[in-house]
A and B are shown apart, each in its own frame.
Chain A
Amino acid sequence: DIQLTQSPSFLSASVGDRVTITCRASQGIGNLLVWYQQRPGKAPNLLIDAASALESGVPSRFSGSGSGTEFTLTISSLQPEDFATYYCQHRHSYPLTFGGGTKVEIK
């Protein structure tokens, strides 16, 4: 099974900060990585597919990069509505797995 390790698990930041979240896969998965945002009490929301393809309607301050085993999600200028938990997920093979999540909180 492919394990996904996200870091950090918790991040405290201010509005306007640049934020980077890392997701490492236990084996190479090409670009078959997806990012989701989940606000408290809500369902996850798709942000980025195929490591770097921004979903329609997602603000351009979000970007994704990486391939193989190391991936990053970057928020260029954190906005109040971005305070949430972010998850990576691979779609390389079964079983599908998610990273443990990164909670972004207001400093």
Chain B
Amino acid sequence: EVQLVESGGDLVQPGGSLRLSCPVSGFTFSSHWMTWVRQAPGKGLEWVANINPDGAVTWYADSVKGRFTTSRDNAKNSLYLQMNSLRAEDTAVYFCARLRGTRSTFDSWGQGTLVTVSS
């Protein structure tokens, strides 16, 4: 069974940093592109970042470029999102998900972790 379990969400002050983790199981992690998608409270879905199987290629939404960094450790079957210079508008549930092949079709999702940016 494919499983993705996000963790690391917390209450953080504006300007602060946070690191999210997404350990996975049930599939060959090192063969898959992965993604982060977020959802502000009561709002729609927003794509955040993609990373290729070996971690050498990443893509970011303009809203997080320069502040967020996604990475992965294939030996630990884990995906990460380092979030710096956090803003109130970054408050959201953050989901990790698996891409289907090289297509940006998100076919398996974690349950999400809540990040709240507030003073």
Q: Evaluate contact between B44 and A99: CB separation under 8 angstroms.
A: yes
Min distance, Cβ B20 to any Cβ of chain A, angstroms = 15
A94-B59, A95-B61, A95-B62 known; A46 vs B107 contact (CB < 8 Å):
yes
Q: Which chain B residue has the least Cβ–Cβ distance from A100?
A: B44
Verify if B88 is at the interface (C-beta below 8 Å from A): no
Min distance, Cβ A55 to any Cβ of chain B, angstroms = 8
How many chain A residues touch B (Cβ–Cβ < 8 Å)? 21
Q: Evaluate contact between B44 and A43: CB separation under 8 angstroms.
A: no
Q: How large is the interface on B (under 10, 10 to 19, 20 to 34, 35 or more residues)?
A: 20 to 34
Verify if A98 is at the interface (C-beta below 8 Å from B): yes
Partner pick for B109 among A44, A96, A99, CB 8 A cutoff: A44
CA distance A97 to B97 in the complex (A): 15
Contact with B along A26-49 (1 / 0, CB 8 A): 000000001010100011111001
Partner pick for B100 among A42, A49, A96, A99, CB 8 A cutoff: A49
Verify if A64 is at the interface (C-beta below 8 Å from B): no
Verify if A89 is at the interface (C-beta below 8 Å from B): yes
Verify if B25 is at the interface (C-beta below 8 Å from A): no
Q: Evaluate contact between A34 and B105: CB separation under 8 angstroms.
A: yes
Please give the residue numbers on chain B whose beta carbons come within 8 Å of chain A beta carbons, in ascending order.
37, 44-47, 50, 59, 61-62, 95, 97, 100, 103-107, 109-112
Question: Can you list 14 A-B pairs with a CB-CB distance of less than 8 A?
Answer: A34-B106, A38-B45, A42-B111, A43-B112, A46-B107, A55-B107, A87-B44, A87-B45, A89-B45, A89-B47, A91-B103, A94-B50, A95-B61, A101-B45
